[in-house]
Amino acid sequence: MDRETRMRRIRDTICDIPEGSVASYGQVAEIAGIPRGARQVGYTLRNLPEGHGVPWHRVVQSAGTIAFDKDSRQFRTQRDRLRDEGVRVTDGRVDMRRHRWQPVLDELLWKPNPAWDEE
């Protein structure tokens, strides 16, 4: 798989994270079909093209902590954006048990399930 495809898949995956949810770098990588590619997610995010619409703020570390220094502007931007969508961020950390994105569950809730139409 080439670099462009990889970066595109990563961006697409992040765009699928619903508002109010977050995913870890590793989780994004895995869903994008790139096992052990957490660092590549970080790389991709660091190099997002100008004017992208990628909701990068919904990506946090596996423990729920924001990856930036607490005194950086990026930290504050991410924290504020998350709060704006209803995600509670305490001391730079998100409660993953509550906000971790669960793609499979989303499908069950949003996609029409054939089995349910069978009487």
Partner DNA sequence: CTGATGACTATAG
Partner DNA sequence: CCTATAGCCATCA
Is 103 near DNA (CB under 7 A)? no
In the list 18, 42, 76, 102, the residue contacting DNA (rule: CB under 7 A) is 42
Q: Which of 40, 89, 96, 101 binds DNA (CB under 7 A)?
A: 40
For residue 39, state whether it binds DNA (rule: CB under 7 A): yes
| Strands 93-94, 89-90: pairing kind | antiparallel
Of 33, 62, 70, 88, the one binding DNA (CB under 7 A) is: 62
Q: Which of 18, 20, 61, 102 binds DNA (CB under 7 A)?
A: 61
**Interacting residue ranges for DNA, rule: CB under 7 A:** 3, 6-7, 24-27, 35-43, 45-46, 48, 56, 59, 61-63, 67-68, 74, 78
